[in-house]
Amino acid sequence: MNKQSLKSWLYLLPAILFLGVFMVYPLFDVMIYSVEEGYNFASQSYFGVGRYNYSYVLRDPYFLQALKNTFILVIITVPVSTGIALLISVMLSSVQKLRDLFQTVFFLPYVTNTLAVGLVFMILFKKTPYTDGFINLIIHAFGGAGVDFIEGPYWAKMFVMCFYTVWVVMPFKILILTSALASVDQNLYKAAKVDGTPAFRIFYKITLPMISPMIFYLVITGFIGAFKAYSDEVAIFGTDLNAAGMNTIVGYVYDMLYGDSGGYPSFAAAAALILFAIVLTITCINLLVQQKAGVTAGVS
Amino acid sequence: MKIVLENLTKLYPNRNKKIKEEVVAVNNFCFEIPDGKLIGLLGPSGCGKSTTLNMICGLEKPTEGRIYFGDDDVTDLPPENRGVGMVFQSYALYPHLTARQNIMFPLENLKGEAKLTKEEMIAKAEEAAKLVQIERLLDRKPSEMSGGQQQRVAIARALVKRPRVLLLDEPLSNLDARLRLQTREEIRRIQRETGITTVFVTHDQEEAMSISDQIVVMEAGVVQQIAKPQEVYDNPANLFVAKFLGTPPINVFKGQVKGGALYIGENRVMEVKGIADRPVTVGIRPEGFVPDADGPLVCGQIGVEVMGRDTSIVAKHPAMEGVQIRTIVSSDSVIDPSSDTVRFQVRPSKTILFDPSTGAVLGR
Ligand SMILES: Nc1ncnc2c1ncn2[C@@H]1O[C@H](COP(=O)(O)OP(=O)(O)OP(=O)(O)O)[C@@H](O)[C@H]1O
Ligand SMILES: [Mg+2]
């Protein structure tokens, strides 16, 4: 090893150590856990090695429910939140007056505690002996029949869940997109205007391609974030997510470890690795799509 | 097609909101640009060149005044209905599109009657590309082209719709010296070939001098002079124009007219007619100095520089404004480089007298 590469390894050492201890080692540990059959906490012993943990988890109705919930959440909230955030950012960048005020308003949820926001959602949606909740009051006012959003039918709970998730992730997306929009060379718009380009064409042909790297970034991190959803569910539906039928994969992992029915690190590890595989696949697909679409604009 | 600017004025609200007073970017600009000519709009940074151009193109609305293209009043028309092509200083090419797509972009916006088929668009784009000689580069993206090539793409994009008016805002300032020279010839050629009335903004006087049919010199939003390039140099309208044009710049002295003669300091340099006794500001072009052992203008010699075919004597004089005098003399003049003093004859044709307070020309 020559001096140069010795030096570079030396500089890399802190990062390697850190990542090794806190990321690579646990990952391997989880892999090992996931194949140890019949692991016993107390005696720290197991019967054998095999695929049993995986097949158990994949046949567990609670896990399948969690898988379904997570997928619905991801598929609905990522496009919806990115789309709405884009819409709001474009509108924000076209107003002059009160722009700062709007920006602050849209950014507030980001600095607000998830549980606090969850509480507000409870008040909005929950049916109690005293009141039907704010949303139901509005539905009644329009002559509709009320729904119990927190303990009612599955679709209603899912709706609240998605609504909440979109609400929570929006501020960050708006922040990223408004700054992406602001960094587009204004001369491009001037040039387009001289050529009489209609507004929608300016948006599709110039704005969108110019900020597409940021949109891809948001979609990828959005997917990853939504797959890891858990605390938001707890904030609204309480800790017994399996009973509510609103568990997520991460929630399932947590329950397997520490929940009332917990104490099964092997099942938890298997579920965690399944989630890992899913997220990895989705991210790879995302990156491939991005490459195919030739998203390089704005990088220069 | 001629362009008429009538009392064109543009005020901007002050950026510092505490100050109510507005910024006067362009002040009462009147000018008739003849059909098919290339006009150089010249002036120092911030004098309102871009603002003028943006008003002609329709990106900015004049606060006062009107703009006519031929006989049409276009003051209230949006840019796309004026038939203008514009080249920006930074080119403003769409970075995610190839050169071909960039050039075709304006054509794709055409609606109704004017709408073109794909084949027609491609044909037109290629025709424009040929004009600026970038046929081979059509499939490249801007990031894969040199500055000069990007520049040509921008010109092709501005020309592809066959505009009635071509506007160029400092199109060469991002190019290196050699390419700049080449490209400005190119612009001249393209303008001649197409016969499109063109306004060319620059703060480089040499650039303006070399390609314009007429030069408009601006300062602080006010037009100082409109004339042919040589005319602006030989007969500046005022001290600002005289100082702004010419490299090396004109040499300025405090002077005095006394009894029909011009004095610079103690030196009686020449006879003048028709000017009563008064203090004057004297401008002498660098080539207005002729070394002469008996010459009336006695200067301290700082140095002699040989720059290619020219020889330049750098000197100083007690009555000069600025730090030194720079002269250009023919290389066969007899000069003693080691001497401390140098004496000059002054050529009356290269000498201009200005009013010290207003800068107006008094005589020559
Ligand atoms: N949007 C604006 N708001 C306020 N003032 C402006 C605005 N645009 C330009 N100005 C002012 O108007 C004046 C003229 O500006 P302009 O851009 O026309 O100058 P320019 O001659 O093109 O200069 P340069 O050679 O640096 O490009 C400047 O004093 C500038 O500060
Ligand atoms: Mg400018």
Task: Please give the Cα distance from A233 to A236 (Å, whole number).
Answer: 5
The answer on B208 and B320 residing in a single domain is: no
The answer on B217 and B109 residing in a single domain is: yes
pLDDT reported for residue B146? 86
pLDDT at B245 > cutoff 70: yes
Q: Which amino acid, B81?
A: N
Q: What is the pLDDT of residues A3-26, one digit of tens each?
A: 888 899 999 999 999 999 998 998
Q: What is the pLDDT of residues A286-300, one digit of tens each?
A: 888 888 776 654 443
A293 touches chain B (CB under 8 A): no
Number of domains in chain A: 1
Higher pLDDT, B273 or B87: B87
Q: What is the pLDDT of residues B160-193, one digit of tens each?
A: 888 889 999 988 887 788 878 888 888 888 888 8
The answer on B268 and B218 residing in a single domain is: no
Q: Is residue A289 part of a domain?
A: yes
Q: Domain end: B211, B244, B277, which one?
A: B244
A185 touches chain B (CB under 8 A): yes
pLDDT reported for residue B93? 92
pLDDT reported for residue A18? 92
Q: Is residue A41 part of a domain?
A: no
pLDDT reported for residue A235? 81
- The ligand whose atoms approach the alpha carbon of B42 most closely is 1
Considering only CB atoms, which chain B residues are within 8 Å of A205? 94, 105
Q: What is the pLDDT of residues A116-161, one digit of tens each?
A: 887 788 788 877 777 777 787 888 788 777 777 777 788 888 888 8
Task: Please give the Cα distance from B150 to B172 (Å, whole number).
Answer: 11
Q: pLDDT-based confidence at B199, cuts 50/70/90?
A: very high
Identify whether the C-beta of residue B173 lies closer than 8 Å to the C-beta of residue B112: no
The answer on B212 and B271 residing in a single domain is: no
Dist. CA A210 → ligand 2 center (Å): 25
- Give me the interface pTM, i.e. the ipTM: 0.79
Considering only CB atoms, which chain B residues are within 8 Å of A290? none
A193 touches chain B (CB under 8 A): yes
Q: Is residue A216 part of a domain?
A: yes
Number of domains in chain B: 2
Subunit contact B80:A190, Cβ cutoff 8 A:
no
Q: Is residue A135 part of a domain?
A: no
Q: What is the pLDDT of residues B109-129, one digit of tens each?
A: 887 777 888 888 888 888 888
The answer on B288 and B156 residing in a single domain is: no
> For B126, how many CA atoms within 13 A lie in the half-sphere containing its CB?
8
Identify whether the C-beta of residue A150 lies closer than 8 Å to the C-beta of residue A157: yes
B88 touches chain A (CB under 8 A): yes
* Interface subset of A 68-127, CB within 8 angstroms of B: none
Identify whether the C-beta of residue A85 lies closer than 8 Å to the C-beta of residue A170: yes
Lowest mean pLDDT among A47-51, B41-45, B296-300: A47-51
pLDDT at B354 > cutoff 70: yes
Question: Whole domain around residue B155: which residue ranges?
Answer: 3-244
pLDDT reported for residue B268? 81
Bridge partners, B310 (sequence order): B307
B173 touches chain A (CB under 8 A): no
Q: Domain end: B214, B244, B274, which one?
A: B244
pLDDT reported for residue A207? 92
SS3 sequence, B317-363? CCCEECCCEEEEECCCCCCCCCCCEEEEEECHHHEEEECCCCCEEEE
Between β-strands B165-169 and B197-202, what pairing exists: parallel, antiparallel or unpaired?
parallel
Question: Whole domain around residue A81: which residue ranges?
Answer: 61-91+99-111+154-299
Residue B96 C-alpha, separation from nearest chain A C-alpha, in angstroms: 5
pLDDT at B289 > cutoff 80: yes
* Interface subset of A 158-177, CB within 8 angstroms of B: none
> What is the CATH number for A247?
1.10.3720.10
Identify whether the C-beta of residue B210 lies closer than 8 Å to the C-beta of residue B245: no
> Is the distance from the beta carbon of residue B50 to the nearest atom of ligand 1 less than 6 Å?
yes
pLDDT at A42 > cutoff 70: no
Identify whether the C-beta of residue A168 lies closer than 8 Å to the C-beta of residue A81: no
* Residue that the structure tokens 């390089």 belong to: A296
Considering only CB atoms, which chain B residues are within 8 Å of A201? 108-109
Considering only CB atoms, which chain A residues are within 8 Å of B96? 209-210, 296-298
Q: What is the pLDDT of residues A236-270, one digit of tens each?
A: 887 777 777 888 999 999 888 887 776 788 888 89
A296 touches chain B (CB under 8 A): yes
Q: Is residue A31 part of a domain?
A: no
Considering only CA atoms, which of B170, B132, B155, B37 is closest in space to residue B85?
B155
Strand order in the sheet with B197-202: B84-87, B165-169, B197-202, B38-42, B214-219, B222-227
CA distances from B267 to A24, B262, B272 (A): 89, 8, 14
Task: Please give the Cα distance from A208 to A220 (Å, whole number).
Answer: 17
Q: Is residue A103 part of a domain?
A: yes
Q: Domain end: B217, B244, B271, which one?
A: B244
pLDDT reported for residue A1? 63
Q: Which two tokens stand for residue B249?
A: 């710049």
Q: Percent of chain B at pLDDT above 90?
A: 16
Considering only CB atoms, which chain B residues are within 8 Å of A196? 78-81, 106, 109
Subunit contact A194:B143, Cβ cutoff 8 A:
no
Residue A112 C-alpha, separation from nearest chain B C-alpha, in angstroms: 34
DSSP letters spanning B32-74: EEPTT-EEEEE-STTSSHHHHHHHHHTSS--SEEEEEETTEE-
Between β-strands B214-219 and B38-42, what pairing exists: parallel, antiparallel or unpaired?
parallel
Mean pLDDT of chain A: 84
Q: Which of A188, A205, A298 is closest, CB to CB, to B92?
A: A188
The answer on B194 and B273 residing in a single domain is: no
> Is the distance from the beta carbon of residue B47 to the nearest atom of ligand 1 less than 6 Å?
yes
Lowest mean pLDDT among A23-37, A93-107, B240-254: A93-107
> What is the CATH number for B43?
3.40.50.300
Q: pLDDT-based confidence at A68, cuts 50/70/90?
A: very high
> Is the distance from the beta carbon of residue B48 to the nearest atom of ligand 1 less than 6 Å?
yes
Identify whether the C-beta of residue B316 lies closer than 8 Å to the C-beta of residue B300: yes
Task: Please give the Cα distance from A244 to A247 (Å, whole number).
Answer: 7
Q: Is residue A148 part of a domain?
A: no
pLDDT at B330 > cutoff 50: yes
> For A242, how many CA atoms within 13 A lie in the half-sphere containing its CB?
16
Q: Is residue A50 part of a domain?
A: no
Mean pLDDT of chain B: 86
Residue A94: Cβ-neighbour burial (10 angstroms; 0-12, 13-18, 19+): exposed
Subunit contact B95:A297, Cβ cutoff 8 A:
yes
The answer on B305 and B210 residing in a single domain is: no
Average of per-residue pLDDT across B248-260 = 86
Q: Which two tokens stand for residue A279?
A: 């997220």
The answer on B98 and B31 residing in a single domain is: yes
Residues with a beta carbon under 5 angstroms from ion ligand 2: B 50
The answer on B166 and B82 residing in a single domain is: yes
Task: Please give the Cα distance from B297 to B290 (Å, whole number).
Answer: 10
